[in-house]
């Protein structure tokens, strides 16, 4: 909501601006608002909008709380409520650090879900939501990563499946089939997809892309094998291995042993 709207007395949802109320600790302007229910409340101006904060907290709780009290941690559907709340925040709240990735890209929530938690819950239960599963085992995913949050574009999947449906995924081709780097690493028992990524960036393809991974260690911005470290820094490979065994990392792996001098009495 803009300050000009407040000064003109424009109403947003159930809230009518009354007067300026200074700034909060973040330097955000606050206003005193009056809700249609008669309650007065103070809110940061940047949070007030039709799609986010548009009534007092009491009316908001009445609007969104389900019959079994899902806003309480004791509810078995509390995680589902937090999923809905997080979805609305990152799409509607410009102060959310993740807003640029969702709302800032034009990702919206269908009116039915945005306005009513119960409608979202009803869809979730009919489409496979299981309150016994953790966030890693089941999360909300958009089929079209550039599409909105709505029944036609959402599903419940596990974390691994969701990682394969990100817009920043790099798709690689191996023997005529397309894979994400995570899928290819799992298929060939390679510990991390970053090994595949580094090889791809070096121009390696096909069998070279999925060959068993060598042990590489990060020193001065590069991943190198023990033999490469030994050759580059002039330290015997057995010394490097010994240091790896005792937990040394980075430059500690390749530092040259300093001579110690003793004073003869």
- Give the pLDDT score at 122: 93
Q: How far apart are CA 254 and CA 258, in angstroms?
A: 12
- Tell me, yes or no, whether 25 lies in a domain: yes
Q: What is the mean pLDDT of the chain?
A: 82
> Of the candidates 44, 63, 82, which is a domain's last residue?
63
- Tell me, yes or no, whether 82 lies in a domain: yes
- Find out whether 211 and 179 touch, Cβ atoms under 8 Å: no
pLDDT in tens, 152-203: 999 998 876 766 666 667 777 888 888 878 778 888 887 777 777 878 887 8
pLDDT in tens, 115-163: 888 899 999 999 999 999 888 889 999 988 889 999 999 999 887 676 6
- Tell me, yes or no, whether 235 lies in a domain: yes
- Give the pLDDT score at 110: 95
- Tell me, yes or no, whether 146 lies in a domain: yes
pLDDT in tens, 46-60: 778 766 777 787 777
The residue written with tokens 């959402």 in the block is 154
Residues 87 and 152 in one domain: yes
Q: Which residues contact 32 (CB under 8 A, 6 or more apart)?
A: 17, 18, 19, 20, 21, 40, 41, 42
- Give the pLDDT score at 170: 73
- Give the pLDDT score at 265: 46
Q: Which residues contact 67 (CB under 8 A, 6 or more apart)?
A: none
Residues 97 and 178 in one domain: no
- Tell me, yes or no, whether 265 lies in a domain: no
Domain count, the chain: 4
Q: How far apart are CA 227 and CA 179, in angstroms?
A: 32
Residues 57 and 73 in one domain: no
Q: Which residues contact 10 (CB under 8 A, 6 or more apart)?
A: 17
Residues 77 and 147 in one domain: yes
Residues 141 and 176 in one domain: no
- Tell me, yes or no, whether 228 lies in a domain: yes
pLDDT in tens, 11-60: 888 888 888 888 888 888 888 888 888 888 888 877 787 667 777 877 77
- Tell me, yes or no, whether 46 lies in a domain: yes
Residues 109 and 76 in one domain: yes
What average pLDDT does range 211-222 have in this prediction?
77
> Of the candidates 63, 83, 113, which is a domain's last residue?
63
pLDDT in tens, 86-126: 999 999 888 888 899 899 999 999 999 998 888 999 999 99
What average pLDDT does range 238-256 have in this prediction?
85
- Give the pLDDT score at 67: 45
> Of the candidates 21, 41, 63, which is a domain's last residue?
63
- Tell me, yes or no, whether 259 lies in a domain: no
Q: What is the DSSP string of 119-166?
A: HHHHHHHHTT--TTS-TTT-EEEESSTTS-BSGGGEEEE-HHHHHTT-
What is the domain range of residue 247? 217-253
Residues 79 and 159 in one domain: yes
% of the chain residues with pLDDT over 90: 19
Q: 177 pairs with which residues across the strands?
A: 174
Distances (CA, A) of 14 to 27, 31, 43, 60, 171: 25, 14, 13, 10, 48
- Give the pLDDT score at 63: 61
Residues 75 and 59 in one domain: no
The reported pTM is 0.52
Q: How far apart are CA 259 and CA 129, in angstroms?
A: 65
- Give the pLDDT score at 165: 65
């Amino acid at each position: 909501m803009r300050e000009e709207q407040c000064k003109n007395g424009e109403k947003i949802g159930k809230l009518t601006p009354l007067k300026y109320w200074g700034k909060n600790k973040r330097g955000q302007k606050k206003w005193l608002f009056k809700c249609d229910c008669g309650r007065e409340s103070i809110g940061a101006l940047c949070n007030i909008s039709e799609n986010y904060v548009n009534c007092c907290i009491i009316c908001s709780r009445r609007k969104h709380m389900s019959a079994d009290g899902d806003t309480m941690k004791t509810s078995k559907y509390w995680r589902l409520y937090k999923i809905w709340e997080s979805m609305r925040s990152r799409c509607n709240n410009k102060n959310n650090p993740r807003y640029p990735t969702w709302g800032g890209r034009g990702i919206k929530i269908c009116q039915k879900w945005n306005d009513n938690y119960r409608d979202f819950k009803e869809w979730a239960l009919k489409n496979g939501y299981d309150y016994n599963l953790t966030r890693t085992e089941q999360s909300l995913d958009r089929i079209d990563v550039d599409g909105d949050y709505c029944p036609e574009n959402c599903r419940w999947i596990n974390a691994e499946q969701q990682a394969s449906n990100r817009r920043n995924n790099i798709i690689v081709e191996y023997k005529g089939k397309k894979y994400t780097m995570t899928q290819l690493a799992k298929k060939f028992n390679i510990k991390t997809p970053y090994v595949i990524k580094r090889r791809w960036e070096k121009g390696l393809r096909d069998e070279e892309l999925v060959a068993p991974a060598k042990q590489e260690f990060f020193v001065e911005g590069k991943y190198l094998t023990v033999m490469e470290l030994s050759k580059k820094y002039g330290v015997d490979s057995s010394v490097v291995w010994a240091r790896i065994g005792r937990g040394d990392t980075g430059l500690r792996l390749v530092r040259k042993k300093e001579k110690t001098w003793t004073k003869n009495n």
